[in-house]
Amino acid sequence: MERQLTLALSKGRIFEETLPLLQAAGITVTEDPESSRKLILPTNDPQIRVIIVRASDVPTYVQYGAADFGVAGKDVLLEHGGEGLYQPIDLNIAKCRMSVAVQAGFDYASAVRHGARLRVATKYVQCAREHFAAKGVHVDLIKLYGSMELAPLVGLSDAIVDLVSSGGTLRANNLVEVEHIMPISSRLVVNQAALKLKRERLQPILEAFERASQANND
Ligand code: PRP
- 183 with 84: CB under 8 angstroms? no
pLDDT at residue 1, rounded to an integer: 43
Task: Quote the ligand 1 centre to 47 CA distance (angstroms).
Answer: 34
- 197 with 68: CB under 8 angstroms? no
- Alpha carbon nearest to ligand 1 atom 22, residue: 146
- 117 with 138: CB under 8 angstroms? yes
* Residue of 76, 148, 164 to test ligand 1 pocket, by largest number of atoms within 8 Å of CB: 164
Task: Quote the ligand 1 centre to 163 CA distance (angstroms).
Answer: 6
Longest dimension (CA), the chain: 65
**Overall fold of domain 5-95+184-215:** D-Maltodextrin-Binding Protein; domain 2 (3.40.190)
* Amino acid in position 197: L
pLDDT at residue 155, rounded to an integer: 98
CATH says 96-182 is which class?
Answer: alpha beta
The SS3 assignment for 150 reads: helix
Q: What pLDDT, in 10s, does the model give residues 12-37?
A: 999 999 999 999 999 999 999 899 89
- Alpha carbon nearest to ligand 1 atom 20, residue: 146
| Residues in the chain with pLDDT values less than 70 | 1-3, 218
Q: Ligand 1: residues within 6 Å at CB?
A: 146, 162-169
Exposed / middle / buried, residue 84 (Cβ in 10 Å: 0-12, 13-18, 19+):
middle
* Distant-in-sequence contacts of 205-210, Cβ < 8 A, 24+ apart: 205/5, 205/25, 205/27, 205/69, 206/69, 206/88, 206/89, 208/21, 208/24, 208/25, 208/26, 209/21, 209/24, 209/25, 209/89, 209/91, 210/88, 210/89
**Atom of ligand 1 lying closest to residue 147 CA:** 20
Distance CA 192, CA 143 (A): 30
- 97 with 77: CB under 8 angstroms? no
- 27 with 77: CB under 8 angstroms? no
- 55 with 76: CB under 8 angstroms? yes
pLDDT at residue 215, rounded to an integer: 83
Q: What does the domain layout of the chain look like in residue ranges?
A: 5-95+184-215, 96-182
* Its pTM surpasses 0.90: yes
ipTM of model over 0.90: yes
pLDDT at residue 218, rounded to an integer: 64
